Chain A
């Protein structure tokens, strides 16, 4: 009897679980589930400086100017128009009338000034994008705001489209500190003027966005976006295969990308991305202050070999710090140094006194997780490439990201890998940050050359495309000679969706507009 009762209870439990567990909760609104291995850093445009958090802000906030989805065309955002003076050091924006933040606070020029002044005052990680260019902001009237720049900047409209320039609600954001979580805001809710609003946030678990009823533009076709954060890329891939998620974006393993791309049941979007990877040298003191050694190491890099072995052919070789497809790009590293050029490397090393009997020994530093699981493989392949000549001996040195960026200040890392996503779409963003006297120390490179600084000033202050082209061509030639950094590859973006998901448009600015998504 007891045994029969026990069996009955167990069976009831199992059937109950199966029934209730399998019973689908009918959605009250259209919901798309987006899976990623990225994470949110802090919920403040004045300090957030990572790809995924910027992607979130690009969907819950709007800048004065924005990019047409999937393109590099700047279109009106919160500003319906702008003018620049002849010297391109004053930009005046006319704001759209009648806009409000989702809590009802009116959006005026005062909010724009307040937001920019806050970014400058708080000195967060991306504040240099404002501080380096903006001297002051003036309120002309409720709907007119003027930016007075530190000097002529022809590409200022591109900057204004970036996240640190997004106007924030002065009624909820604290003026004197940045916030990490929405609970720290007045009212505990993050409000913006974008097509979506943040409804719920559980760090490293889930983020829910609902369509913003107060958005001035066209209502999104999908009512709710649920972003699910995965700790493991393979689990994320399995979740897509199982149908638990509708869309997967950043960052799948190369083998998972290859497998999913071969499956007909998913839509695959492969997009050229302006994300680049490169090798850096500490150029101010020690071994690699000698440019012959930098040239030699750069000449030994075999880009296609790295791409084929580590990334299964999914990225593109890069021969300039200016990405392929961007204006003024040239392939100087290919012309001057080549790929896997052992002969050239040995000649340069010999000139500097390094041979098989007296090899050049150095540490190659890398962050084992920050750029994904492939980093370990990439540096191992590079080590083998460098040691193709017996005149080089390499020791691989991993350092977890917090240690890695601390090491940039101490000059401990003489040769190290880095990656770069653009802040704004212009070659200046791929060059000045690494090789100007102001920017280079922050990257651990410590390169400084007055001729280069003059070139940077010239291209930043010029509004003449022909002049800028001439400057960048010269700069790229100099780069292949001085080699403060050596470009390796340019990443493609890989996104997979279920077949019924449409509207994926991610252009060179890397902006993923959720409001363009729809279910077919």
Chain B
């Protein structure tokens, strides 16, 4: 346990240089990229002296190295800075939008596991049958499908043709989030408010976008689970369990799957970054007001500090999830030592 703690602390400290490199790259790329944030802010008709005054106000007339130094000094104080476009701290829109993305991402991951893992396990138990082939085909197709197209198809089928599910937003237009919003996680907020009508509405709205993400990523987990299960099913203890007369379902899903799950856990950490990237496209398709849409909007407006802030937050979450996965891995597999 002491070693584990030491490992965790080391990983946390290693995150700092990673963030530094990432932020430096983003800082430079944004500033050498064509497009002037002041022009984007003021439009095409502002007089030159107004544009010059705005550039000075925002510090954009300073040499890039000076701007970089000031930004690093700000970050050292844990200050993400101020938006260049709106009169607000960078943290404000991030705090507003992050819960929406996390809610979508977590639910998306849940669907990924609920679909991918059982299907992969089943395919392994029915190796070289038509069902195995069908599931593997599903895995390949799901992995290749663009998330945008998947979202539109699910909207069309379940939203429009069948009329079962809503297709956009986090709530119905006639359900007002201002009545229950506290944390920004609407599932939690509606429960805290005891507003079960709103809870149902929120869950219905969450279903399709999460399912979209879940289906697209489940392809990887189908293949990974199947491959791991095939190895585990050859093990001696599985043979022994079968020999003792334990039902095949229990052998596969209780004994074998538990051991095959460890590499899947590692993959979850790696896929989290892809899930966040997929959330950006999914948010556009479902008009989900999360970090993805915030990032796209602020790129359009050339709001450098907010773009940098969003990327920092994304990077931090990916690092955190990756660390958590590694720690859980060590906890559940006694063979793993750091």
Contacts and interface: CB of A to CB of B under 8 A. Distances in A.
Contacts of B152: 234-235
Interface stretch (B35-43, B63-71, B74-82): B35-43
Chain B at the A interface: SS class: helix
B173 A242 contact: no
B248 interface: no
A27 B168 contact: no
A124 interface: yes
B130 interface: no
Interface in B92-139: 93, 96
A25 B37 CA distance: 43
Contact of B173 (A16, A19, A31, A49): A31
Contact of A231 (B85, B155, B166, B284): B284
Nearest to B159: A242
Bin the interface of chain B by size: 35 or more
Nearest to A37: B287
Contacts of B159: 238, 242
A49 B45 CA distance: 10
B44 interface: yes
Nearest to B93: A203
B203 A238 contact: no
B200 A19 contact: yes
Nearest to A33: B173
Bin the interface of chain A by size: 35 or more
A230 B163 contact: no
Interface in B182-198: 196-198
A235 B286 contact: yes
Nearest to A243: B163
A369 B50 CA distance: 27
Nearest to B196: A20
B13 interface: no
A442 B45 contact: yes
Contacts of A375: none
Contact of B168 (A24, A230, A443): A230
Interface in B164-221: 166-169, 172-178, 196-201, 203-204
Interface of A: 16-25, 27, 31, 33, 39, 42, 47, 49, 123-128, 179-181, 184, 200, 202-206, 208, 226, 228-232, 234-236, 238-239, 241-242, 244-245, 369, 399-403, 405-409, 442-443
22 contacts: A21-B201, A22-B200, A31-B173, A39-B297, A47-B42, A47-B43, A123-B46, A124-B42, A124-B46, A126-B45, A127-B45, A181-B86, A231-B283, A232-B285, A234-B152, A235-B168, A242-B159, A242-B163, A244-B172, A401-B300, A403-B35, A409-B39
Q: What 10 pairs between A and B have smallest CB-CB spacing?
A: A21-B200, A20-B200, A125-B43, A402-B40, A403-B35, A402-B35, A33-B173, A205-B289, A21-B204, A406-B36
